[in-house]
Amino acid sequence: MKKLTIIIPSRKQEKQIEFLRRATDSVRNQSIANQFQLTFLIGVDKGFALDPLVAKSLGVICIESDGTSQAAALNGAIRVMKDGYVAFLEDDDRWMPEYLNFAMKALALSEFVSSTQAEVDEDDELLRINDFPTPSGWIMDSSVLKKVGEFNEEYRFHLDNEWLGRLSELKIKRIHMAESTAPIVRKYINPVRPWLLNVLNLSGGYCSIARHQSPYPLVKRMVHSKSGMAQIAASKELLEISDIEVNKIIKRFGRRPW
């Protein structure tokens, strides 16, 4: 049986357990879940470990990091990861039932898979399709993660861009999954899905877009007032931090990697 480790960064807040239960259930409810030995590693801030009884009820392993950032939480879990496949999932995000099925088919043709997402509000109402390759749609063999390395803890907001930059530097072949109705030819992508075009133009030349059979994105991403992007939009100070990070990334890679 194939091994799959799902790394979930999680912060202490009133809906933390509800979010974790929903996220882990979305993995267990995958159409091909019975083909995998699933391990859930929940990365948390230093001093904020889950109650052992809660962790047991969720069927997860809680990894307390040595810091207080998303990157630190992710890295804490990465350091105890075993061999096999590895995927990431934000605690307030979910996989649609066919995510793993289509992702594994794409992974058979590449070394790394990312995905578009359906963004929803806190009432689960669809807001839009987001083509940015957020980590909740990432899956790879653990050897790829070990090759690229841990997340850079110097970054508060754009650790995913920086990691994707290192992925492309290693010339790792990648497939980005889009819904069955998405345009995949450049001249048709450009006028209607500019962010999908960014995936091609800013990925370093080693990414292709592939449609899966669902008309709906395979990752559901919650948008709420406490998300990182919402915080940036509401705070001049955080916007400045974000801009500094983006400029640092552009200086390092010559672009903002997608």
Span 16-22, mean pLDDT? 97
Give per-residue pLDDT as tens, 167-176: 999 999 999 9
Quote the CA–CA distance of 157 and 239 in Å, as a whole number: 10
The C-alpha angle with vertex 7 and arms to 210 and 212, in degrees rounded to 5, equals: 15
At residue 148, φ and ψ (nearest 5 deg) are: -75, -40
Q: Residue 38 pLDDT > 90, yes or no? A: yes
Q: How confident is residue 234, by pLDDT bands cut at 50, 70 and 90?
A: confident
pTM of the model: 0.95
- For 133, the 3-state DSSP assignment is coil
Give per-residue pLDDT as tens, 175-229: 999 999 999 999 999 999 999 999 999 999 999 999 999 999 999 999 977 666 6
Rounded mean pLDDT of the chain? Answer: 96
Q: How confident is residue 236, by pLDDT bands cut at 50, 70 and 90?
A: confident
pLDDT number for residue 206: 96
Q: Residue 81 pLDDT > 80, yes or no? A: yes
Could you tell me the residue ranges of all domains in the chain?
Answer: 2-253
- For 103, the 3-state DSSP assignment is helix
- Cβ(42)–Cβ(63) under 8 Å? yes
In 109-180, at which residue ranges do the beta strands (DSSP E only) sit? 112-115, 117-120, 126-130, 139-141, 174-178
* pLDDT cut 90: percent of the chain above it: 94
Give per-residue pLDDT as tens, 110-120: 999 999 999 99
- CATH code for the domain defined by 2-253: 3.90.550.10
